[in-house]
């Protein structure tokens, strides 16, 4: 069976696209952020896959990274959008067109101010187990 890496990303995108809200407005989700993208937004970052076979089936333990970007003063907007991501993704299982998602957990959340001292970035780390 084919590697489900792209299927995982598509499933996460489908779960988030149009569903991430802040103050009643939809927060866009991007794989390739446009140059003129307005804040706030969520972007797909790194994806790491480690083999986790135990018996006969192929199993992968995946770490999937999302970033939240904001130019609002302070961390409030970033933290609230990260909470929305948590509500949409934690302990959920999404249908994929290749493979099967066993689990999806929000494993870690953190924030930092960007080097420009204006923009804030939030990091949401997902742990996803798939079989294929």
90-104 pLDDT tens trace: 999 999 999 999 999
Q: How confident is the model at residue 56 (pLDDT cuts 50, 70, 90)?
A: low
Number of Cβ atoms within 10 Å of the Cβ of 29: 21
Place of tokens 């066993």: 102
The span from the CA of 107 to the CA of 74, in Å, is: 23
Q: Whole-model pTM?
A: 0.93
């Amino acid at each position: 069976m084919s590697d489900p890496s792209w299927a995982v990303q598509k499933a996460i995108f489908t779960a988030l696209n149009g569903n991430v809200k802040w103050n009643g407005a939809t927060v866009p989700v991007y794989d390739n952020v446009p140059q003129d993208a307005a804040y706030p937004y969520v972007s797909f970052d790194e994806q790491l896959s480690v083999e986790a076979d135990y018996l006969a089936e192929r199993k992968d333990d995946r770490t999937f990274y999302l970033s939240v970007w904001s130019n609002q003063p302070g961390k409030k907007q970033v933290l609230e959008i990260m909470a929305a991501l948590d509500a949409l993704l934690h302990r959920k299982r999404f249908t994929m067109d290749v493979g099967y998602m066993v689990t999806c957990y929000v494993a870690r959340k953190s924030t930092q101010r960007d080097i420009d001292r204006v923009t804030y970035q939030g990091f949401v780390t997902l742990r996803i187990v798939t079989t294929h």
